[in-house]
């Protein structure tokens, strides 16, 4: 027995009390050793250590330690470290010069072949790619706020914060402004003239829009087409169109305009006259704007053929009624397809009903029906309602053999104009030099039909001849560039043009037209020859901007003196057209299908510098407004009924970008 400090003896403890104390101590020690499971995912990248200075979190990749007391420290510091840890295998911080390898697919817009490439996280680049996707795929801005798209971005790149639709709209417009600045720089370095096409369109907002596209050949002799502006216009009047074109050209700094291609609306004639006055005031026109107005060939062909088909014969009507009867019911169409299989007709063409006011749809209907002639005859024997219906329509039943022969001749006739339209409506290749050959075949075909024994085809050809003479029969109204461009084609030149003109025109008209072509060609060459000194200086400036070694002041003076000497030599020799004559007297190049006229002039412009500059400005002229009209489908998708609240400024940015 022991005695405490106060002199009171301590009472002895029982064995039961000792056991209870030891159990409580064990429970307290066990409670201290058991820890709760960490709930934050950041601990997958850190280890905890209990050090004398306190609890520390040690990075598993770089060994960096941070305080991580449960009550004093949170996990935000740890997350910040993971986002910039250089040794974290799935992280490429901005200050790191090391990138990750990734696989590039051949299907990507950048093109090329598939293979390994480097990848580095850059939120700015991802936002640019996102705006590119919205513009190219014509997606609504709200697309970026969709649950599925955000989930996809979270899986593919968790570090990227998807912007709102307002931010994406701003990025898209910024992309448009960036591309506009790039294009302006390209135009500053380009020494050639540009040609324009324009057309107007009314949107579902009942706002009048004008599209202005331009075409040019760069210093490497590559053809380009761009949409300059898609802007609202007050009305479709000629003066308003001309003022808007002038405003757009001044905004882009374009004054050297060779030609403007428009359709046959009378308001466009007024607009061209307005622009001719302005361009002559700028003193940048060619021969005072003599070749400025180019009428759309496709519109003229459409008017000519449509006028001829107004007297379409009864055979076409019977075929049209037969096609309409079969397409009115899915059951009839399915039975007709079975007849095609039973007749073993190997074709992928299907029945299509035409729009009587559009001749090209009539051609497509007849072309498909002719190949399915045997199926029509088989169907007439299997469906009794077919014959009854056609008897009620015209009283003569289904098309017979004579009807099929008539529509076959008409289809072959229309195919020539259909092919002509396809050839001259391209905007990614030179088309002006192709039109003359189509015009010759057009005229020869009509001459043959006018003198043929087929009464129906003769009547159609006579009506078309009248409309043809209105646009291409008067030598004073024809834009002579359609002949001059063939002279500048090394496969044909002037003799070919003269011979073809005498074949398709009346002798009096042909003689006058040939004289006009020669006079215009010589005047065009003389104007370009006089301005050759200024063009040489512009080429020197552009070459220095292209990255080539700039000329020193001493060499610049020498080059200027050389250009003056060349001009002096031409004036001294008294034969200003010596270069043009040399080009015309050379043997023509072999006419092959793979001939590339731009490549030929690229390698021969050094021998014929003045004629080469003329060819560069003339070959770019489009003969169709399809370049502007083809954008209507894009505008219709950009400005559909679900996006009718877009402002004209945003619409222009989306279309032009």
Model pLDDT, residue 19: 56
Model's pTM, two decimal places? Answer: 0.71
Average of pLDDT values for 141-167? 86
> Greater confidence, 484 or 539?
484
Q: What is the DSSP string of 113-126?
A: --EEEEE---HHHH
In whole angstroms, what is the distance from residue 181 CA to residue 254 CA? 14
Residue 57 and residue 48 in contact, taking contact as beta carbons nearer than 8 Å: yes
Confidence band of 25 (pLDDT split at 50, 70, 90): low
Is the pLDDT at 3 greater than 80, yes or no?
no
The rounded percent of the chain whose pLDDT value lies above 70 is 77
Average of pLDDT values for 626-630? 61
> Greater confidence, 359 or 609?
609
Q: Considering only CA atoms, give the Rg of the chain.
A: 39
Is the pLDDT at 653 greater than 50, yes or no?
yes
In whole angstroms, what is the distance from residue 243 CA to residue 250 CA? 11
> Greater confidence, 113 or 440?
440
Is the pLDDT at 370 greater than 60, yes or no?
yes
In whole angstroms, what is the distance from residue 610 CA to residue 530 CA? 10
- pLDDT tens sequence across 38-73: 778 888 888 888 888 888 888 988 888 888 887 778
In whole angstroms, what is the distance from residue 67 CA to residue 543 CA? 62
Model pLDDT, residue 572: 54
Model pLDDT, residue 544: 44
Range of lowest pLDDT (16-25, 174-183, 476-485) = 16-25
Q: What is the DSSP string of 27-84?
A: HHHHHHH--PPP-SGGGGSEEEEEETTEEEEEETTT--EEE--TTT--SHHHHHHHHH
Pairing of strands 194-202, 257-262: parallel
Model pLDDT, residue 600: 92
Question: 258 in the Ramachandran plot: left (φ > 0), alpha (ψ -120 to 50) or beta?
Answer: alpha
Q: What is the DSSP string of 381-428?
A: HH-HHHHHHHHHHHSS-S--HHHHHHHHHHHHHHHHHHHHHHHHT-SS
In whole angstroms, what is the distance from residue 22 CA to residue 346 CA? 98
**Nearest to 484, CA basis, from 436, 540, 545:** 436
In whole angstroms, what is the distance from residue 593 CA to residue 164 CA? 52
Residue 119, beta-bridge partner list: 100
């Amino acid at each position: 027995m022991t005695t405490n400090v106060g002199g009171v003896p301590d009472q002895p403890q029982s064995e039961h009390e000792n056991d209870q104390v030891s159990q409580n101590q064990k429970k307290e020690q066990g409670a201290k050793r058991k820890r709760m499971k960490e709930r934050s995912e950041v601990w997958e990248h850190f280890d905890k250590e209990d050090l004398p200075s306190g609890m520390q979190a040690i990075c598993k990749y770089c060994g960096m330690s941070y305080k991580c007391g449960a009550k004093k420290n949170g996990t935000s510091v740890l997350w910040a470290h993971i986002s910039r840890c250089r040794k974290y295998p799935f992280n490429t911080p901005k200050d790191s010069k090391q990138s990750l390898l990734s696989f590039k697919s051949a299907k990507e817009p950048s093109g090329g072949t598939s293979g390994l490439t480097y990848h580095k996280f850059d939120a700015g680049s991802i936002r640019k790619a996102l705006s590119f996707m919205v513009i190219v795929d014509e997606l609504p801005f709200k697309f970026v706020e969709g649950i599925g798209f955000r989930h996809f971005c979270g899986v593919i790149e968790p570090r990227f914060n998807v912007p709102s639709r307002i931010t994406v709209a701003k990025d898209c417009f910024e992309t448009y402004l960036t591309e506009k600045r790039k294009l302006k720089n390209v135009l500053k370095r380009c020494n050639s003239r540009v040609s324009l096409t324009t057309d107007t369109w009314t949107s579902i907002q009942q706002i009048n829009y004008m599209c202005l596209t331009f075409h040019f050949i760069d210093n490497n002799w590559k053809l380009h087409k761009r949409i300059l502006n898609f802007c609202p216009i007050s009305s479709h009047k000629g003066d308003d169109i001309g003022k808007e074109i002038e405003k757009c050209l001044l905004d882009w700094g374009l004054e050297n305009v060779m030609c403007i291609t428009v359709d046959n609306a009378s308001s466009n004639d007024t607009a061209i006259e307005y622009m001719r006055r302005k361009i002559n005031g700028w003193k940048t026109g060619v021969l005072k704007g003599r070749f400025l107005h180019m009428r759309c060939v496709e519109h003229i062909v459409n008017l000519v053929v449509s006028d001829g088909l107004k007297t379409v014969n009864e055979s076409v009507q019977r075929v049209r009624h037969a096609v309409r009867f079969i397409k009115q019911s899915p059951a009839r169409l399915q039975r007709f397809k079975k007849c095609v299989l039973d007749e073993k007709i190997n074709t992928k063409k299907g029945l299509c009903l035409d729009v009587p006011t559009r001749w090209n749809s009539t051609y497509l209907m007849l072309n498909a029906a002719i190949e399915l002639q045997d199926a029509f005859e088989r169907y007439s024997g299997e469906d009794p309602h077919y014959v009854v219906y056609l008897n009620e329509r015209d009283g003569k039943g289904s098309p017979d053999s004579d009807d099929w022969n008539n529509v076959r001749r008409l289809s072959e006739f229309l195919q020539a104009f259909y092919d002509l339209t396809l050839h001259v409506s391209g905007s990614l290749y030179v088309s002006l030099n192709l039109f003359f050959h189509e015009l010759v075949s057009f005229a020869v075909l009509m001459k043959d039909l006018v003198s043929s024994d087929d009464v129906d085809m003769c009547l159609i050809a006579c009506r078309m001849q009248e409309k043809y003479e209105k646009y291409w029969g008067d030598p004073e109204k024809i834009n002579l560039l359609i002949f001059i461009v063939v002279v500048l084609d090394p496969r044909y030149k002037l003799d070919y043009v003269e011979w073809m003109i005498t074949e398709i025109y009346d002798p009096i008209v042909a003689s006058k037209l040939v004289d006009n072509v020669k006079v215009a060609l010589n005047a065009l060459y003389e104007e370009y020859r006089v301005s050759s000194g200024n063009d040489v200086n512009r080429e020197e400036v552009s070459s220095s901007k292209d990255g080539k070694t700039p000329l020193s002041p001493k060499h610049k003076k020498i080059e200027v003196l050389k250009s003056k000497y060349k001009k002096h030599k031409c004036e001294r020799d008294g034969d200003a057209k010596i270069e043009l004559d040399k080009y015309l007297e050379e043997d023509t190049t072999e006419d092959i299908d793979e001939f590339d006229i731009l490549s030929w002039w690229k390698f021969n412009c050094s021998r014929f510098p003045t004629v080469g500059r003329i060819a560069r400005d003339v070959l770019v002229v489009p003969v169709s407004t399809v370049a502007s009209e083809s954008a209507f489908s894009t505008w219709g998708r950009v400005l559909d009924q679900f996006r009718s609240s877009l402002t004209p400024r945003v619409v222009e940015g989306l279309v032009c970008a």
